Amino acid sequence: TEHIEHLSADLQMNLVEWISKNLNTDGLFLGSMPHHDDPKNPCPYHIKTRSHDEWNSILNQYFTDVQVYKFDDESYWWTAKKK
């Protein structure tokens, strides 16, 4: 997914749960998210960004073999497999 930060927290959780239920057994959930927006200059299009640790914790509730990688100073990406 490339747009999850544009969803509310509730919709993010609904999406993650839906993906976890519908991902093929050998499938891989791959996505990215920007780091928290700068409070002095937030992106008006980002509804909910999450920290690396917060997103890692959420993904581990629904998936196995979760890997969250820092992409650059502005974003990170993840891979996760179906439980």
- For residue range 12-70, list pLDDT tens digits in order: 999 999 999 999 999 999 999 887 767 777 788 889 988 889 999 999 999 999 999 98
pLDDT of residue 37: 65
- pLDDT category at 1 given cuts 50, 70, 90 is low
The region that residue 65 occupies, defined by phi over 0 for left and psi between -120 and 50 for alpha, beta otherwise, is left
Q: Residue 29 is encoded by which pair of tokens?
A: 């959930």
User: Any bridge partners for residue 67, and if so which?
Assistant: 79
